[in-house]
């Protein structure tokens, strides 16, 4: 009886499995435009910073939400504001700068929004005559270079990135903006993610899109490490970038949206999920006056396809599973002929469009509680892909033979392999609203068997707790404090670490009035809220 009850509970949407919130505090004060602090300022330190922590903690995200009378519509639209916490001998200084992207500069010069973003369409210049304004709707919109998602590294250089074909190189010490870099000048792609992976030889991997007469393709890219003997010039260098593999979209007129991908020591997995981009609407969205956000739709009838790519040969295998969506993966590793793949997953891809500024700025009360309770909650899942499939295996036989693993893989009548997942958590996590923004001890354990990951808990529309998860026992440890909203945690290992979790977690925390750096010894997480 308990097994059936557990199965029925796990088949419920995640929003129904998590407790319903009431009396949530408005987070509107967190969503106002900030001011930059280009010159480093000292900070007040509480507690003791371990002596071995020295360096810069870099963060990036939306920081300006209006120009003149024009307002952005979506959280993803805000102009990139870069932050630097510099730690040296127990002291911390803080500085920040707006990215001087073309989008930022043009908007500033004209004191209005002139470059479209994810959820906001730039309106025609009101100073033009009617005919000129009408014709401007038929101009092909240029992709934004408002790189407000992430700091990334290629060949030792720092860039800030978004999900178009443009990045910006930046100085990690001063946060000054350098040149704009166009991916399409190095490799045949029209965009790239803001979440690359790095191998232990120094190469970087990413994914992009390409489309043309032959259809729509998802493209896996490799950027080689910098040549040690080469003289370093102060300019962007993506030379040697190559396409490992191009995967045709299952529906060429409705390719899938994706935010990141999976990588183990020998494989890359692309998750073709049923968040679909309508190509016809994409071609016409400026004419229709709709934002990019409006051409994305959740279409669960397409299910989810895992494309397993051999990093060395480019060979591709396909697996299928039920409709789900994922923004961030936790880790993946190979184990006795299987690829174990852990991800933060949801069961309703409409959630991306819900993070409008209007929704997020709701005042405390029933409207805010109702909005939060309607959101999909992401939960950690484990999928296990058999690397070698016995074509003679019975259709009802579970091909996954790893000990103590509840994930399954079975052959189907159509000759495909269908996957079901294992829940990578216990019910305690539901109290914290699920989790997102997972991080591991990346340098040592990415692509390898691991035990711990760190993430943000979402008991509010913004993250309101830090979590440490043991994937062996599914034990959860939590840090939570009323009125504090942490950002994505970053794990830094101790210099002489003997254990996987020997180190600290860094996070940028926000209140309604302050922003600050928090450093946690990973062993100091409690099992209860504080």
Nearest to 487 by CA among 460, 450, 462, 451: 462
523 is in an annotated binding site: no
Evaluate whether 278 touches 254 at the Cβ level (below 8 Å). yes
Nearest to 82 by CA among 174, 199, 220, 155: 174
- How would DSSP label each residue in 248-275? E-SSTTSPBP-S--EE-SSEEEEEE-SE
259 is in an annotated binding site: yes
Nearest to 344 by CA among 414, 267, 434, 429: 434
Query: In 388-525, which ranges are continuous DSSP H helix?
Result: 442-445
Distance CA 170, CA 399 (A): 48
From the DSSP assignment, how many helices (H) and strands (E) are in the chain?
A: 9, 35
Q: Could you tell me the end-to-end alpha-carbon distance of the chain, in angstroms, rounded to an integer?
A: 36
Evaluate whether 129 touches 116 at the Cβ level (below 8 Å). no
- The residue to which tokens 């803001």 are assigned: 194
The vertex-444 CA angle with 449 and 306, nearest 5°, equals 50
Evaluate whether 196 touches 206 at the Cβ level (below 8 Å). yes
Pick left, alpha or beta for residue 137 (phi over 0 → left; psi -120 to 50 → alpha; otherwise beta): alpha
The helix/strand/coil state of 4 is helix
195 is in an annotated binding site: yes
Evaluate whether 136 touches 122 at the Cβ level (below 8 Å). no
Distance CA 194, CA 118 (A): 15
Distance CA 142, CA 388 (A): 44
Distances (CA, A) of 488 to 276, 326, 436, 453: 26, 16, 8, 12
- Which residues touch 9 (CB under 8 Å, ≥6 apart)? 17
Evaluate whether 244 touches 208 at the Cβ level (below 8 Å). no
Which residues sit in the known binding site?
Answer: 195, 259, 328
Which residues sit in the known binding site for Fe cation?
Answer: 195, 259, 328
């Amino acid at each position: 009886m308990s097994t059936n009850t557990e199965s029925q509970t796990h088949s419920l949407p995640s929003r129904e499995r998590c407790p319903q919130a009431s009396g949530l505090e408005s987070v509107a004060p967190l969503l106002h435009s900030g001011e930059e602090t280009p010159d480093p300022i000292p900070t007040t330190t509480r507690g003791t910073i371990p002596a071995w922590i020295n360096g810069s903690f870099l963060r990036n995200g939306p920081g300006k939400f209006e120009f003149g009378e024009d307002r952005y519509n979506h959280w993803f639209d805000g102009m990139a504001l870069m932050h630097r916490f510099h730690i040296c001998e127990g002291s911390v200084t803080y500085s920040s700068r707006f990215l001087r992207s073309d989008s930022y500069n043009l908007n500033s010069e004209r004191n209005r929004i002139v470059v479209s973003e994810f959820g906001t369409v730039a309106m025609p210049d009101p100073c033009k005559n009617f005919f000129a304004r009408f014709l401007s709707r038929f101009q092909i919109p240029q992709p934004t270079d408002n790189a407000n998602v992430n700091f990334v590294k290629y060949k030792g250089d720092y860039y800030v990135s978004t999900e178009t074909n443009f990045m910006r190189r930046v100085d990690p010490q001063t946060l000054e903006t350098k040149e704009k870099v166009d991916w399409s000048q190095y490799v045949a792609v029209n965009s790239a993610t803001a979440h690359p992976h790095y191998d232990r030889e120094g190469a970087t991997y990413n994914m992009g899109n390409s489309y043309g007469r032959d259809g729509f393709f998802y493209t896996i890219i490799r950027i080689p490490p910098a040549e040690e003997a080469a003289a370093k010039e102060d300019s962007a260098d993506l030379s040697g970038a190559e396409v490992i593999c191009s995967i045709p979209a299952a529906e060429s007129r409705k390719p899938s949206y994706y935010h990141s991908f999976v990588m183990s020591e020998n494989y890359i997995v692309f998750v073709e999920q049923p968040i679909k981009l309508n190509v016809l609407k994409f071609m016409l969205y400026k004419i229709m006056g709709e934002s990019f956000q409006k051409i994305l739709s959740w279409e669960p009838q397409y299910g989810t396809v895992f494309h397993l790519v051999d990093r060395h040969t480019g060979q591709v295998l396909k697996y299928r599973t039920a409709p789900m969506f994922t923004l961030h993966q936790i880790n993946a590793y190979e184990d006795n002929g299987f690829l174990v793949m852990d991800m933060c997953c949801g069961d309703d891809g409409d959630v991306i469009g819900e993070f409008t500024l209007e929704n997020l700025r709701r005042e405390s009360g029933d409207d805010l509680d109702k909005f939060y309770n309607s959101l999909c909650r992401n939960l950690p899942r484990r999928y296990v892909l058999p690397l070698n499939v016995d074509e003679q295996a019975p259709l009802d036989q579970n091909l996954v033979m790893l000990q103590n693993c509840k994930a399954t893989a079975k052959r189907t009548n159509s000759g495909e392999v269908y996957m079901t997942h294992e829940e990578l958590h216990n019910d305690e996590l539901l109290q914290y609203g699920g989790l997102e923004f997972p991080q591991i001890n990346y340098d040592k354990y990415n692509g390898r068997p691991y035990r711990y990951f760190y993430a943000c808990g979402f008991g509010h529309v913004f993250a309101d707790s830090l979590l440490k998860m043991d994937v062996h026992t599914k034990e959860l440890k939590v840090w939570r404090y009323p009125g504090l909203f942490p950002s994505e945690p970053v794990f830094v290992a101790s210099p002489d670490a003997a254990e996987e979790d020997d180190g600290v977690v860094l996070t940028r925390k926000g209140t309604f009035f302050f922003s600050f750096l928090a450093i946690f010894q990973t062993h100091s997480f409690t099992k209860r809220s504080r």
